[in-house]
């Protein structure tokens, strides 16, 4: 009798699980991402706004996904003639499906030339395409949602100046269940005020958010950032022929930036300005980096100082990281290892 009851209980549990699964499947089948209407705004194309937009495009490393890059050279400099044309992520990156960074040039057929400025703003900060579907969250809209109203208009102004490139690309084909889970990622951004430039700490927090520093420098567990180890490094990037691990940029004295002075922090970036001016040198696998040194070295001193000031306030985390596991250590190997006295 007990065995019969147990079997019935198991059968009922199995039926309940089946109904629950069916219910979830139906729920996600009709689930729409949270979204607001695209703002009815026409961006003013002033020289000042376009210049600020170019700065933000560089800070957020939009080239990193939307432009072809020369991975044989340090910092993988962008191929200028391909700016914004879009890119299909290689399978070595281990993405959940065939992920494609779309064409963001003003080409009307294969890019965003027919999008309104408001639709572009919504895509940048909320992750919603023109047709209302969600963008794959490799597009860092969860961080760009902090971009101010003025700055996002500046970024759109710069995007409007890109040369149109005809480059037809397929849409991302995201594997289940990620394909339904990403529908919960977009959230309306609302109106975002500009950060106070005079408050170095607040402005540094803003720049770090727009640059997506936390996303790259925080280890991930099952696709989510480990909030207990923010900025502690350990995020793995798989690239053709090599893999790179992000560095610890917390103020930990032994494994992070705890012993770095402000000037040492600035110098670490500014040493690469020569590469921007004269061209980055060739590197092997031990020198490949996804850290946008060539972008961030162009930031003005006050902005890098603001970033440094903010990073000094985050929780120190002891976490030793080998940024290029299995590769020989060379002078060209990028690292955030603290300088030794």
**Which range is least confidently modeled, 19-23, 128-132, 183-187, 262-266?**
19-23
What pLDDT is attached to residue 221?
81
Residue 22 confidence (pLDDT) above 70: no
Residue 118 confidence (pLDDT) above 60: yes
Residue 303 confidence (pLDDT) above 80: yes
Query: Largest Cα–Cα distance in the chain?
Result: 84
Q: What is the dihedral of CA 307, 312, 317, 323, to 10 degrees?
A: 40
Strand partners, 236: 245
Residue 8 confidence (pLDDT) above 80: no
The residue-averaged pLDDT of 35-60 equals 95
Q: Which of 122, 143, 145 is nearest to 134 (CA)?
A: 122
Residue 240 confidence (pLDDT) above 80: no
Residue 17 confidence (pLDDT) above 70: no
How much of the chain exceeds pLDDT 70, in percent? 86
pLDDT in tens, 65-108: 999 999 999 999 999 999 999 999 988 778 899 999 999 999 99
pTM reported for the whole predicted model: 0.85
How far out from the chain centre does Cα 50 lie?
Answer: 22
- Describe the chain by its helix, strand, coil percentages, rounded to 5: 40, 10, 50
What gap in Å lies between CA 133 and CA 182, rounded to an integer? 10
Q: Is the dihedral of CA 50, 53, 58, 62 positive or negative?
A: negative
Residue 331 confidence (pLDDT) above 50: no
Domain residue ranges in the chain: 47-184, 200-311
Beta strands 173-174 and 224-225, pairing class: unpaired
| 125 close to 152: Cβ distance less than 8 angstroms | yes
Q: 337: which DSSP letter?
A: P
pLDDT in tens, 143-170: 999 999 999 999 999 999 999 999 999 9
What pLDDT is attached to residue 26?
43
CA end-to-end span of the chain, whole Å?
77
Mean pLDDT of the chain, nearest integer: 87
What gap in Å lies between CA 230 and CA 311, rounded to an integer? 11
**Which range is least confidently modeled, 257-266, 283-292, 316-325?**
283-292
Q: Is 286 exposed, middle or buried (0-12, 13-18, 19+ CB in 10 A)?
A: middle
What pLDDT is attached to residue 205?
97
Q: Where are the alpha helices (DSSP H) in 136-231?
A: 141-144, 149-159, 178-181, 200-211, 213-216
Residue 336 confidence (pLDDT) above 60: no
Residue 268 confidence (pLDDT) above 80: yes
Residue 63 confidence (pLDDT) above 60: yes
Residue 329 confidence class, pLDDT cut points 50, 70, 90: low
What pLDDT is attached to residue 7?
36
- C-alpha dist (Å) from residue 29 to 23, 134, 160, 184: 10, 14, 35, 12
Tell me which long-range contacts 267-275 makes (C-beta under 8 A, separation of at least 24): 268/336, 269/293, 269/296, 269/297, 269/299, 269/304, 270/297, 271/297, 272/74, 272/75, 272/297, 273/297, 273/298, 275/74, 275/75, 275/77
Q: What is the dihedral of CA 138, 142, 146, 148, to 10 degrees?
A: 60
| 106 close to 179: Cβ distance less than 8 angstroms | no
Q: Where are the beta strands (DSSP E) in 95-192?
A: 97-98, 100-101, 173-174
């Amino acid at each position: 009798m007990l065995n019969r009851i147990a079997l019935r209980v198991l059968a009922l549990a199995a039926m309940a699980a089946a109904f629950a699964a069916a219910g979830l499947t139906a729920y996600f089948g009709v689930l729409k991402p949270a979204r607001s209407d695209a703002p009815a705004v026409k961006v003013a194309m002033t020289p000042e706004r376009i210049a600020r937009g170019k700065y933000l495009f560089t800070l957020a490393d939009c080239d990193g996904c939307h432009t072809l890059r020369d991975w044989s050279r340090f910092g993988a400099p962008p191929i200028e003639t391909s700016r914004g044309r879009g890119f299909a992520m290689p399978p070595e990156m281990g993405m959940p499906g065939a992920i494609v960074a779309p064409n963001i040039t003003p080409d009307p057929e294969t890019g965003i030339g027919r999008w309104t400025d408001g639709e572009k703003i919504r895509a940048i900060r909320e992750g919603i395409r023109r047709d209302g579907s969600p963008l794959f969250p490799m597009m860092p809209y969860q961080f760009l949602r902090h971009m101010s109203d003025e700055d996002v208009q500046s970024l759109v102004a710069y995007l409007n100046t890109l040369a149109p490139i005809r480059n037809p690309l397929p849409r991302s084909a995201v594997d289940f269940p990620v394909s339904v889970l990403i529908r919960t990622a977009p959230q309306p951004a609302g109106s975002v005020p500009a950060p106070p430039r005079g408050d170095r700490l607040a402005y540094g927090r803003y720049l770090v958010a727009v640059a997506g520093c936390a996303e790259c420098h925080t280890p991930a567990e099952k696709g989510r950032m480990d909030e207990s180890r923010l900025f502690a490094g350990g995020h793995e990037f798989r690239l053709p022929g090599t893999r790179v691990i992000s560095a610890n940029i917390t103020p930990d004295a032994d494994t992070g930036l705890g012993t770095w002075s402000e000037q040492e922090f600035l110098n670490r970036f500014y040493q690469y300005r020569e590469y921007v001016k004269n061209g980055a040198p060739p590197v092997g696998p031990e020198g490949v980096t996804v850290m946008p040194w060539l972008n961030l070295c162009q930031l003005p001193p006050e902005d890098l100082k603001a970033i440094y000031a903010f990073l000094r306030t985050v929780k120190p985390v002891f976490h030793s990281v080998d940024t290029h596991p299995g590769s020989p250590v060379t002078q060209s190997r990028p690292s955030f290892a603290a300088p030794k006295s």
